[in-house]
Amino acid sequence: MAVVKTFSAPLRAHNDGAYWEDSPRHLVSHTWVLTARLLVRLVRNPVTIVHALILPVGFLLTLDVVLGDSITAATGEDALYRSVPLVALLAAISGSSAGMVGITTERLDGFLARMWVLPVHRAAGLSARLFAEIIRLVATTLVILVTGLILGFRFHQGPTAALAWVAAPVVFGVAFSAVVTMIALYWPKAVLVEAIQIVGMVGTFFCTGLVPVDKYPDWVQPLVRYQPMSTAVDAMRGLSVGGPVLTPMLGTLAWSAGIFAVCLWPIMVGYRRASTSR
């Protein structure tokens, strides 16, 4: 009943025979209700919790116990300042991949179609997913950060740099979630979740999250240096222990903005098509 009351508003008729409220005020209220719904579903979904939190935390602990000393000895620097950023990015990827199942399920069971004929702002569905994803990314990044702090990770560049450190996986994760959402809207196949996980793992072993770029063979160094996970890891390492920050952060922002811009229009078209298909 509370949801119905929240959505009650003056309606406007449009050419396709549907009705919805398209005022900015109702966009805010409808987005809030749908964001809360997505967050409740996320908390109650054990698959998402496992992929977004438990597996990344376990991977970070494994890296530190099994490879931490070896990486430190080989590189001459504490491995945590690369592995903690790397796992924060992996948590963003894993959580987005699990969320792909949610939007695919909503499409197949007709939930998106039912929302399309209700008096709900048409932009609220996508904007709610964006805000829910940002909240999830902040939460998972903080969990990984706390785990790193327990293991010995520390910030040496001040509180502003620490806030920027937390923001980097969020920006990266929003861009990656745009790719995942686009795939889910156009190719709703469960096997694609596994394919995205494989892409994330390949990116893990060909980025600077384990060792510096000069430890890789010469022929692969350009790919490792400029791929988005490497720029994000380098920026986060500089923000924590010191080192270059501006260039890798600009690279992260450029990658993320470019990916989001390319995916935005297909997402809007695909969401409308998924909502109106019968």
pLDDT value at 278 more than 70? no
pLDDT value at 197 more than 80? no
Report pLDDT for 2.
42
Report pLDDT for 62.
92
Beta bridge partners of 12: 20
CA 189 to chain centre: 20
Tell which residue, 274, 38, 267, has the closest CA to residue 175.
267
pLDDT value at 19 more than 70? no
DSSP 13: E
Residue labelled with tokens 């903080």: 142
Report pLDDT for 191.
62
Residues 126-145 pLDDT 10s = 898 999 999 999 999 999 99
Q: Taking CA 275 as the corner, what is the angle to CA 272 and CA 278, rounded to the nearest 5 degrees?
A: 125
Cα distance from N-terminal residue to C-terminal residue, the chain: 27
Which residue would you say has higher pLDDT here, 3 or 90?
90
Q: Is 278 helix (H, G, I), strand (E, B) or coil?
A: coil
Report pLDDT for 9.
41
DSSP 54: I
Report pLDDT for 4.
41
How far is Cα 132 from Cα 48, in angstroms, rounded to an integer? 13
Lowest model confidence (mean pLDDT) among 71-85, 180-194, 214-228, 245-259: 180-194
Alpha helices in the chain (DSSP H): 2-7, 24-44, 46-49, 55-62, 68-75, 80-108, 111-116, 124-151, 159-186, 191-205, 221-226, 228-240, 246-276
Instruction: Give the pLDDT band (50/70/90) at residue 8.
Output: very low
Report pLDDT for 116.
78
Tell which residue, 52, 44, 43, 37, has the closest CA to residue 7.
37
Average pLDDT of 33-46?
86
Give the torsion sign (CA, 230, 231, 232, 237): positive
Report pLDDT for 99.
67
Share of the chain above pLDDT 90, in %: 41
Report pLDDT for 258.
96
pLDDT value at 270 more than 90? no
